[in-house]
Amino acid sequence: MTRPRILLSLLALFILSACVKPVIYEPDEVVSRAAYTSNEPPSITLVTVINNSTGSGGHTALVINASQRVIFDPAGNFKSRSVPEQNDLLYGITPAALSTYYSFHARKQWHVVTQKIEVTPEVAEAVFQAAKNYGPVPDGFCAASTTKILRSVPGFESIPQTFFPVRTMKAFAELPGVETNKIYEDD
């Protein structure tokens, strides 16, 4: 086998290995028991984790406040006993769970940017269903899967398909009515 073929084979194995991660799919009854419905208006919140030194994006997620509040945490590594997961969709997102999720990502090296936009109940539910049906996301595809879901729903067609969290964040900021917040922690 020639050197270029060996390198291509190794590269293919590396790429495929990035796609192999454990699929977490907790039972429906566990998810049903954990379901949380917020009194807040229906909304979509883009969550972007930003490196404090470089300004580059490290992660993208969506907080979806629809018939229940969930977090689409594609290729994420947040774990909590009170937050069951099915294919990168986290359920039981109470105010305490949401605060814990943000705190998990905000630390000395990283801060969290949240961009919230109120939407109709129908749009919130469409994003929720799209996230629920998406399936598990391989590492490195958090922004790509998030932008694909958003682009499939009316009102978010302008979001470009991208692998880059900061590009996603900048495009989301252009939507009318977005409320931006930054979360810094030092632990």
Nearest-angstrom CA–CA distance, 60 and 57: 8
Q: What is the mean pLDDT of the chain?
A: 92
117 has a pLDDT exceeding 80: yes
Query: Could you read off the pLDDT of 18-40 as tens digits, one per residue?
Result: 445 678 999 999 999 999 999 99
Query: Could you read off the pLDDT of 39-61 as tens digits, one per residue?
Result: 999 999 999 999 999 999 999 99
What is the rounded average pLDDT of the residues 172-179?
Answer: 97
Tell me whether strands 85-86 and 89-90 are parallel, antiparallel or unpaired. Answer: antiparallel
Domain map (residue ranges) of the chain: 3-183
Lowest mean pLDDT among 2-16, 49-63, 76-90, 163-177: 2-16
Percent of the chain past pLDDT 90, that is, above it, reads 87
Q: What are the residues whose beta carbons fall under 8 Å from the beta carbon of 111, sequence distance 6 or more? A: 49, 50, 52, 182, 183, 184, 185
What 3-state class would DSSP assign to 86? strand
